[in-house]
Amino acid sequence: MEPGNQTRPPTFLLLGLSQEAVLQPLIFWLFLFMYLITFIGNLFIIVAIISDSHLHTPMYFFLSNLSFADICFTSTTIPKMLLNIHMQSKAITYGECLTQMYFLLTFGALDNFLLTVMANDRFVAICHPLHYMVIMNPKFCGILLLVSWILSVLDSLLHCLMFLRLSFSTEVEIAHFFCELNQVVQLACSDTFLNDIIIYCTTGLLGIIPLAGILYSYSKIVSSILKISSASGKYKAFSTCGSHLTVVSLFYGTGLGVYLSSAAIENSKYSAIPSVMYTVVTPMLNPFIYSLRNKDIKQAIIKLFC
């Protein structure tokens, strides 16, 4: 494509998961169903935690924020996708694309930091139970949440500011159902070397450091659980972090799988399909994992209906 007049903002075209007309109704209703399940499920978690005074603890404080981040994370991509299918349009403006990338990066990074903070919370609860309420006091929990928000916002702001320096053709086709940063950057007409460096560096830092913190916390947790003599004591200790460990495995497993599969797939048209796992499926499963494996959450949700 020929570079257009850069005084007029470019128009992006989201090609979606499939361009087959016969599949569009199926994709629409499937993603609408998954979005409603994600929204309602995470909303139930938030309301249950707020309404039940027994759940006003650090663990559930961070869980409610994780549910909020999951709602916002999916709300940045799926509604626009559903609207485009309904309107039989693929267009997304430059401003909408930039806004979508900003909030997607913000809430994706926030998910990452919250999972790390929750792992630290479980580490203190199991390895230092007598000092748990002293260490994980409300002020410290608030600071951890504030730092997570600040780092997430700064990361997405950096990427978006770097994105503004790029120039594009007047019409850009994105083989995805949302404005995925790395893929959009590669479609720029100008030099993207600096953008690529920042993407790789921030992805490495925000991926490796939190994951290392989670692995360290769980290595200490497993070591402490193995020292417990009774089988019932081991089960009780492990059950307090089993749900979080499942979510961590799902989040990092799907994210890693997406990037490995994207690197293996030469045709970018098919790279959008694996990304459904971490953008849609994982946030949808989180409420089920925490509610089905957690007696307190189940009781709180039952109270809401009663």
Domains of the chain by residue range: 11-305
Mean pLDDT along residues 239-253: 80
pLDDT tens for 126-171 read: 888 889 999 999 999 999 999 999 999 999 999 999 999 999 988 8
Note the pLDDT of residue 258: 66
Structure confidence at residue 2 (pLDDT): 45
Of 281, 295, 294, 300, the closest CA to residue 70 belongs to: 281
Strand partners, 12: 92, 172
Domain 11-305: CATH class, spelled out? mainly alpha
pTM, two decimal places: 0.90
* SS3 (DSSP) at 112: helix
Average pLDDT, the chain: 86
- Length of the chain, in residues: 306
Q: Are 99 and 194 in contact (CB under 8 A)?
A: no
Segment 21-70, tens digit of pLDDT = 888 999 999 999 999 999 999 999 999 999 988 889 999 999 999 999 99
**DSSP state at residue 269:** G
Measured at the alpha carbon of residue 69, what is the angle toward residues 65 and 71, in degrees to the nearest 5? 115
Query: Which residues does 88 contact at the CB level (< 8 Å), separation at least 6?
Result: none
- Tell me the one-letter amino acid at 124: V
Whether 7 has a pLDDT exceeding 70, the answer reads no
Region 158-187: mean pLDDT is 90
